[in-house]
Amino acid sequence: MSIAALSLPRSAAQGYFASHWRSLDYFNLYRLSLTMALVVIGTLFGDTDLFHFGAGTLFQGFAYTYLVIAAFFVLGIRARWPSFQIQLSAHITADIAFVMLMMTTSGRLAEVMGLLLVISIASGGLVGSGRLTLLYAAMASIALLLQHSWNILQHDQTVDGFFQIGLLCAGYFAIGWLAHGLTRRALHSEQLAQRQTEELALLNRVNAVAIDHSPTGLLALQENGIIRHANARALALLGITAPVKPGVTRLDACSPELAHLLSRPFKPGTTLTMSTPVTQLKVRCIPLVASDQSRVLVLEDQNLAEQAAQRLKLAALGRLTANIAHEIRNPLSAISHAAQLLLEDAHDPAQSRLAGIIQNNACRLDRLVEEVLTLNRRDRLNPVNVDEKTLVALLDELLQTEGIPTDAVIVSMNESVHFQFDPDHLRQIVWNLLRNAWHFSQQQAGSIRIRIRKQADRVHIEIQDDGAGLPPQHQGKLFEPFFTTDAQGTGLGLFLARELAEANHAELSFLPGAGGACFRLGLRGNT
């Protein structure tokens, strides 16, 4: 056997648990104690009439040999080699062989030493989980019958002793059968406990992964304010950057605001609110049924919750308005066509004015319907490569469409740009921004400035007008649907522009303090 084999960790072998090896170790400890006792008996009583004439020395030799073999068994148990079942069978075989040999040295001891095999058979059944227990009982019975037959041939015992031997052999089988049944039940319970332990460990790992990756912050606290567990989301929401040691770090040391909030009296399950450097939080306290009155804090980002509610509302609104838009488009076309016919045949100025009102409002409704339908198709992307030439051509087309003089727009570009964008979406975004800029500007030469710049791997398209700008109270509502400061506007232009920008992985933002109104479209450029 190699040194590496002797240094292997004491783990469970295949088909056996570590407890089996411990039991075998204890069984061999009993064997060592028994052999030392037999050595002492042979030493003290070797010259007495307890043994046959001259057999005391032979008994001592058997006892010493038995002790040495039991000591070698210790090495095999420690090394887990050979296999468990081979070692156990070797132990029982050694017990039977040496007990039989020592029984031949003394007639008086033969009556008692046969009972020692009862312990070996029972221990073999318990340690070996009931395997081969009846075989061990049969081996002991055969060895005992052969030993008694030998004594009869030597005229040391009579045939009448077979009755006593038969009872002892029956006891071997009874003990073996009982050990077999008990160990089978014990093994089943141990295997069931092992499976439950593994399932519990797996469940703990699943819970740990779920907690660590939860979008909600979870914080477990002891009654004295010591943090038992905090997931990464909770630390991020609270703005905690210092390392947190579970069971050591106190809450007031890393988040005094939350600790102060929890120090106030409140009912369990009550929702509290607090502000952090990161966001606005909703805090729910859930008590745990534990001896130390631990509790779990559920931290929710209120801004995310509001955004989720807003997205749901907008999704429902989008489906509703898209259905309505489809239903009103046909009658709207009929109204517009009828208004055109009235304008052609009208001779009365009042009638012409009324027909013009109908025509203008029909065009406004048609633009609203088109914007709603465009919003509903924002996820249908067909990105293409866009460069500065494409942008200049797009601007020229939009200036002609809106009737904006060419000298009213100043375009500056520091270098060539390349990026990918859906052409229809890009046209809709630039059209909305350019139309708003011209509408709210002073509508003179140089009223609109368009800057196209490249910074690192980003491309920025900024459109700025020279108008009065936006009041601060309106700046936070610019991109909300149906918000407008123009009585003739639909309130969907900027909202639609931002939705289309986000669909193309771009960002549309308002730049305050730039003089007039300035909007920036930021996107990732191609290298």
User: Could you read off the pLDDT of 171-212 as tens digits, one per residue?
Assistant: 999 998 888 888 788 778 878 988 999 999 999 889 888 888
In a domain, 341, yes or no: yes
Are 483 and 404 members of one domain? Answer: yes
Are 440 and 511 members of one domain? Answer: yes
Are 190 and 224 members of one domain? Answer: no
Q: Is the pLDDT of residue 97 over 90?
A: yes
Measured between alpha carbons, how far is 485 from 489 in angstroms, rounded to an integer? Answer: 8
Measured between alpha carbons, how far is 237 from 275 in angstroms, rounded to an integer? Answer: 10
Q: How confident is the model at residue 300 (pLDDT cuts 50, 70, 90)?
A: confident
Measured between alpha carbons, how far is 305 from 189 in angstroms, rounded to an integer? Answer: 49
Could you tell me if 511 and 462 are in contact, meaning their C-beta atoms sit under 8 angstroms apart? yes
How many residues appear in the chain? 527
Measured between alpha carbons, how far is 305 from 288 in angstroms, rounded to an integer? Answer: 26
Are 347 and 297 members of one domain? Answer: no
Are 404 and 454 members of one domain? Answer: yes
In a domain, 449, yes or no: yes
pLDDT at 237: 84
In a domain, 209, yes or no: no
Tokens 């929890």 belong to residue: 262
Mention every residue, 6+ apart, whose C-beta is less than 8 A from residue 24.
77, 84, 87, 88, 91, 127
Domain boundary, last residue among 321, 353, 376: 376
Q: How confident is the model at residue 3 (pLDDT cuts 50, 70, 90)?
A: very low
Helix (H, G, I), strand (E, B) or coil at 209: helix
Compute the C-alpha angle 445/446/448, nearest 5°.
120
CATH number, position 506: 3.30.565.10
Q: Which two tokens stand for residue 293?
A: 């009155």
Are 36 and 153 members of one domain? Answer: yes
Q: Is the pLDDT of residue 388 over 80?
A: yes
More confident site: 39 or 131: 39
Tokens 């040295």 belong to residue: 105
In a domain, 366, yes or no: yes
What percent of the chain has a predicted confidence (pLDDT) above 70? 89
Task: Round the average pLDDT of the chain to a whole number and report it.
Answer: 82
pLDDT at 1: 34
What is the helix (H) or strand (E) element at residue 482, kind and residue range? none
Q: Is the pLDDT of residue 216 over 80?
A: yes
Amino acid at 4: A
Could you tell me if 118 and 172 are in contact, meaning their C-beta atoms sit under 8 angstroms apart? yes
Compute the C-alpha angle 45/50/53, nearest 5°.
100
H helices of 13-55, in order, are 18-45
State the residue range of the domain holding 515: 384-524
Are 47 and 187 members of one domain? Answer: yes
CATH number, position 311: 1.10.287
How many folded domains does the chain comprise? 4
Measured between alpha carbons, how far is 485 from 130 in angstroms, rounded to an integer? Answer: 89
Are 176 and 243 members of one domain? Answer: no
